[in-house]
Amino acid sequence: MDTKSLTLLVEILDAGNLSEAARRLKMTRANVSYHLAQLERAVGMQLVRRTTRRVEPTEIGLKLYQHGRSILEELVAAREAVQTLGKTPQGKVRLSVPSGYGQFVMTPWLLEFKRAYPGIVLDVLFENSVDDLLRDEVDIAVRIMSEPPQNLVARELGQVRYAACASPGYAARHGLPPDPQALAGAPVISAAVIGRPLRLSAYRGNAPREQVVLEPTVISRNYAFLRDAALAGLGVAILPDYVVHEDVAQGRLLEALGDWRLSIFGRAMYMLYMPNRHHPRAIAMMIEFILERAQGAGLLPARASAFAPVQP
């Protein structure tokens, strides 16, 4: 068994199937399958179980994967130490951010990071679904959720407050909803969850949680568009505060249900990444940078040492 064999096993399990591993390794699928069979023959035990869609490690396969992953991370660290000695930071970060939070909050942070470290390539995806980080080759994901995945490191970036708001023109014509239940019959502007009803949770004081099923009349994953729809008087928008707080402050939108705490997709923003022992320098710098900006923006209290998982 050599480093190449362990690398092959790590790539297969990270990719999730032989075809994707072949693409990443720039090999044919048959070649990957052949080398895997050779490795299993050398070990004398089955290392992966194949299903129609995925490959999963056996107990011995998982142990070898963990050893292989550690070796590869040490090699990457050693290579980086040599390559970056006396040089400006280099590398690439593939970052997945929510469309609204990414545009309204994180864009200035990311532009600042790029100006500070021009040698680091930023590949930024604006999307809202919680995907497989390994499958999509995403280094860092930022997501709104209530419970972060247990298999990832989750760093909280702050609580998310939702606002129910409408334009002065809409309020003059229809009034503002007096309570959460009134939203059930109102023209709602909001993002939606594909394949299931959109449920709003509302909390006030020590009273039990209220839930309302919403039927939006304007739906989009583009929060700038949803904000414009609210400004145009098309209904009552249920949007994160960071999307509309300036419009509310300037009177362009009027907030309803101000004494209620509203939640749709989750109440906290998390930064997610794989629990690797070593992160390439560019990724580690981005993780630290985002945490510092979240703290500087007042979204987080003073924090403990870097890279400590936040418990939900």
pLDDT for res 303: 40
**Domains, in order of start, for the chain:** 3-83 (1.10.10.10), 91-159+267-296 (3.40.190.10), 162-263 (3.40.190.290)
pLDDT for res 172: 97
Task: Report, as ranges of residue numbers, the positions in the chain whose pLDDT lies below 50.
Answer: 300-312
What are the structure tokens assigned to 15, written together?
A: 């990719």
CA distance 262 to 203: 7
Q: What are phi and psi for residue 16, nearest 5 degrees?
A: 95, -20
The residue to which tokens 């009273």 are assigned: 207
Residues 6+ away with beta carbon under 8 Å from 251: 168
Of 175, 104, 97, the closest CA to residue 140 belongs to: 97
pLDDT for res 309: 32
Describe the crossing of helices 281-296 and 107-116 by its angle, rounded to 10 degrees. 130
Of 161, 162, 163, 138, the closest CA to residue 271 belongs to: 138
pLDDT for res 117: 92
pLDDT for res 33: 87
Residue type for position 278: H
Answer whether 166's CB lies under 8 Å from 256's CB: yes
Report field, pTM of the whole predicted structure over 0.85: no
Residues 6+ away with beta carbon under 8 Å from 287: 140, 155, 271, 273, 279, 306, 307
pLDDT for res 162: 93
CA distance 86 to 265: 45
Q: What are phi and psi for residue 258, nearest 5 degrees?
A: -65, -25
Q: What are phi and psi for residue 90, nearest 5 degrees?
A: -125, 170
Answer whether 270's CB lies under 8 Å from 142's CB: yes
CA distance 280 to 203: 42
- Tens of pLDDT along 64-99? 888 787 777 777 766 766 665 556 778 899 999 988
